[in-house]
Amino acid sequence: MYSQHPDFSWSHSRDRALAECARAYYWRYYGSHNGWLQDAPETSRLAYALKQLTSFPMIVGTAVHACARDFALAVRHGSARPSFEAMLARVSDALNRAVIGSHHRGAFLRDPKRVVMLQDAWYAGRGDASGLAPALTKARKCLRELENSALWEELEQCPPEWVLVPEGPEAFVHEGWAVYAGPDLVYRPDGQRVVILDWKTGDASDAELQIPLYALYCRAVLGIPFREGEWFGRVINLSTGADTGQEIMRMDLMQAAERVRQSVGAMHALLDGIDSNVPRPMEEFPVAEPERRRMCQYCPFLALCESELGIGSSDYVGL
């Protein structure tokens, strides 16, 4: 459906994108809008395609999360759990699709939502499967950790209604804004305590910021009343085996709400029309400062900024 400008919403990933680079934020959330249309400007079509670029770690993370959800649903319903072999085949299939798609630049540009393209392959100008073996090794590690997690024994002791498996990030209204968030799993081990679980397959440094957002989601979407001393966050990093927990305090929810409020303010400051989500001219979304431009070499939108940055695709060093 055509719309001149995208709808505004807030998410943790959108907040991180703006914090890292305003120009990349522009391309991801504004410059790529309508880029799927055949008559869209060339830069919009390219930005839309570059927005779809992926990497082996991202593919592993997405596929393993899908396996974890299926595993949790099976435990919740008391049905057969997915086998390790079936889960590994699922991840392998996703990785192989990326290897194959990365040899077809023209097909990717024509249909970037359906043809998978690795970011490294795009900037190298050719497909490269050298990262496939390490990705499969990581996938095996994550899936073994998933299969052997102590979590499943806890869930088996819970009635099904005490185990909630959201489909994914969902929008809820917070202070008038659409906020996208969603935990991987919510369960109540004794019918009183609320445990919000987040699976990780790599860097877990953002978990401390994400868990309170998931708490806002649980209160708004799941309708669970917050009670001090009864809400807990749990992060299981499948790539390392680390299993950590933290109590969620009322102050954490207040700080999360304030973070959203301040972040929305920073995003609105880049708009000419808040109600219609009309962005200011691209030039008012500055490129990274010179001292931070080393990170531009890893950005999917490098091709759109290279002339302004004075670096080119040949400087891309890979993820």
Residue 154's pLDDT is 95
pLDDT at 311 over 90: no
**Contact assessment for residue 67 and residue 90, using Cβ atoms and an 8 Å cutoff:** yes
238-276 as b/e: b if 16+ CB within 10 A:
bbeeeeeebebeeebbeebbebbeebbeebeebbeeeee
Residue 316 in this model has a pLDDT that exceeds 60 = no
For a pLDDT cut of 90, what percent of the chain falls above it? 87
What pLDDT shows up at residue 157? 93
Query: Residue 26: how many CB atoms within 10 A of its CB?
Result: 26
Mean pLDDT across 126-142: 94
Q: Is the pLDDT of residue 147 over 90?
A: yes
Q: How confident is the model at residue 1 (pLDDT cuts 50, 70, 90)?
A: low
The whole-chain average pLDDT of the chain stands at 94
Does residue 279 have a pLDDT over 70?
yes
pTM score: 0.93
Q: Which whole number is the average pLDDT over 245-266? A: 97
The per-residue pLDDT for range 203-220, each reduced to its tens digit, is 999 999 999 999 999 999
| pLDDT recorded at residue 319 | 61
| Residue 142 pLDDT > 60 | yes
pLDDT at 3: 83
Q: What is the pLDDT of residue 318?
A: 62
Position 273 pLDDT exceeds 70: yes
Q: Domain locations in the chain? A: 52-148, 152-268
Give pLDDT, residue 317.
59
What are residue 11's phi and psi, to 5 degrees? -150, 165
Does 312 have pLDDT greater than 70? no
Please enumerate, as own/partner, the contacts of 78-85 that have beta carbons within 8 Å and a separation of 24 or more: 78/160, 81/152, 84/143, 84/144, 84/147
Question: pLDDT at residue 235 above 80?
Answer: yes
Rounded average pLDDT over 244-248: 96
Mean pLDDT of 133-142: 98
CA separation for the pair 146, 241 (Å, rounded) = 9
pLDDT bucket at 160, cuts 50 / 70 / 90: very high
